[in-house]
């Protein structure tokens, strides 16, 4: 479920995306409501692109998809970086932590091809580790952590609602 995250403190990406082939599934402006319940607003402008639909425990597959994504969308990414004031751009790889009583060290590898492609575009790499059971329990404020990476359903354009807690 690798995601490309792009942010800016000064300008929206909506105008760029209107004429770009970059496959963003979410875009938001500074000050827009991020969470209806809390009323929290976005502190910056941003966009997100789905890079891989592979499972969190398939980091090599996510990496393969990211390499293909960067190759396919290199032109659009260069145009984005040339025309928009980007403050941060990164590939975020959610990954299942394997640390336990039996596993004391977890090592994960990014191949030179990914580092070279991302580096040439000025894109950072982030490995976000989650406990193995994170898809089921609720995270902070009762929200499933999995929902933070889930793309909205294409038909409705809205993010799926977390399942109601069973009593």
Confirm whether 154 is domain-assigned. Answer: no
Give a yes or no: residue 93 inside a domain: yes
| pLDDT for 87 | 94
Distance CA 119, CA 110 (A): 12
| pLDDT, tens only, 35-75 | 888 889 899 999 999 999 998 889 999 999 999 999 999 99
What rounded mean pLDDT belongs to the chain? Answer: 82
Band of residue 96 on the pLDDT scale cut at 50, 70, 90: confident
Inside any domain, residue 30: no
What span, in angstroms and rounded, lies between the C-alpha atoms of 148 and 75?
A: 28
| Spatial contact of 6 and 13, defined as CB atoms under 8 Å apart | yes
Task: Indicate if the pLDDT at residue 136 is higher than 60.
Answer: no
Q: Which of 5-9, 34-38, 87-91 has the lowest mean pLDDT?
A: 34-38
Which of the two residues, 15 and 153, has the higher pLDDT score? 15
Cα separation values, 7 from 84, 104, 149, Å = 10, 35, 16
On whether residue 57 sits in a domain, the answer given is yes
Query: Is 60 exceeded by the pLDDT of residue 131?
Result: yes
User: How sure is the predictor about 103, in pLDDT bands with cuts at 50, 70 and 90?
Assistant: confident
Pairwise CA distance, residues 32 & 159, whole Å: 16
Please give the tally of structural domains in the chain.
1
pLDDT the model gives residue 134: 60
Residue 16 lies in a domain: no
Structure tokens, 69:
């994504």
Measured CA to CA, the distance from residue 77 to residue 146 in angstroms comes to 27
pTM of this prediction? 0.76
Give the percent of the chain with pLDDT over 90. 52
Give bridge partners of residue 130 from the DSSP assignment.
96
| 160 domain residue, yes or no | no
pLDDT exceeds cutoff 80 at 95 = yes
Burial 30-59 (b: 16+ CB within 10 A, else e): beeeeeeeeeeeeeebbbbbbbbebebebb
pLDDT at residue 101 in the model: 81
- Which residue range is the domain that position 88 belongs to? 3-7+47-148
Instruction: For residue 118, tell me if it sits in a domain.
Output: yes
Residue 31 in any domain: the answer is no
């Amino acid at each position: 479920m690798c995601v490309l995250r792009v942010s800016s403190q000064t300008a929206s990406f909506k105008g760029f995306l209107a004429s770009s082939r970059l496959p963003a599934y979410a875009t938001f402006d500074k000050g827009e409501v991020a969470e209806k319940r809390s009323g929290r607003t976005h502190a910056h402008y941003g966009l997100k692109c789905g890079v891989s639909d592979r499972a969190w425990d398939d980091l090599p597959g996510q990496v393969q998809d990211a390499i293909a994504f960067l190759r396919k969308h290199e032109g659009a990414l260069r145009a984005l970086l040339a025309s928009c004031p980007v403050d941060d751009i990164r590939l975020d790889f959610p990954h299942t932590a394997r640390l336990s009583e039996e596993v004391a060290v977890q090592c994960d590898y990014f191949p030179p091809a990914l580092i070279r492609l991302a580096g040439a575009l000025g894109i950072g790499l982030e490995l976000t580790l989650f406990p193995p059971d994170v898809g089921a329990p609720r995270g902070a404020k009762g929200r499933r952590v999995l929902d933070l990476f889930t793309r909205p359903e294409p038909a409705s354009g809205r993010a799926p609602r977390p399942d109601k807690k069973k009593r």
